[in-house]
Copies of this chain bind each other. A is one copy, B any other.
């Protein structure tokens, strides 16, 4: 069973990623996701650099991005991801009311996705253009 790789036991390549995460996020330690991914330093580095690029402020603000991340994780039923991205979204400003509405939208989307499947609804001509 995988185990976490702590900073003290990490290779230089892994430490470099940990350092960048800690500095970018201004946190004293990285969370478990990174400590497990560290078993594969190539994937660790690529995943961190991808996330850093994707989650940076852009056309969408970081809070919106975290809420989208949470909605996807809830849809997929990833317990760890729901816990960590709930925390991240709250840290980015998600209020209890926003969380409630986010869950309502996520739940309803999952419902109507299946109603559409079951009723075999064809795409309207207006959506084809």
Residues of A with Cβ closer than 8 Å to B? 1-2, 31-33, 36-37, 39-40, 42-43, 46-47, 50-51, 53-55, 58-60, 64-65, 67-87, 95-124, 126-129
Interface centre among A43, A46, A51 (most CB of B within 10 A): A43
A124 x B77 contact (CB < 8 A): no
A101 x B32 contact (CB < 8 A): no
Report the separation of the CA atoms of residues A108 and B82 in the bound assembly, to the nearest whole angstrom: 14
Known: A118-B74, A121-B36. A65 touches B105 (CB 8 A): yes
Copies of this chain, how many? 6
Chain B nearest CB: distance from A39 CB in Å? Answer: 6
Chain B nearest CB: distance from A127 CB in Å? Answer: 4
B71 x A103 contact (CB < 8 A): no
Known: A1-B127, A95-B59. A40 touches B103 (CB 8 A): yes
B75 x A77 contact (CB < 8 A): no
B113 x A77 contact (CB < 8 A): yes
B124 x A32 contact (CB < 8 A): yes
Q: List 23 A-B contacts (CB under 8 A).
A: A1-B127, A1-B128, A36-B120, A42-B100, A42-B104, A46-B104, A50-B108, A54-B101, A58-B101, A59-B100, A60-B101, A69-B109, A71-B72, A72-B110, A74-B118, A75-B76, A83-B120, A83-B128, A85-B109, A86-B120, A87-B127, A99-B118, A103-B114
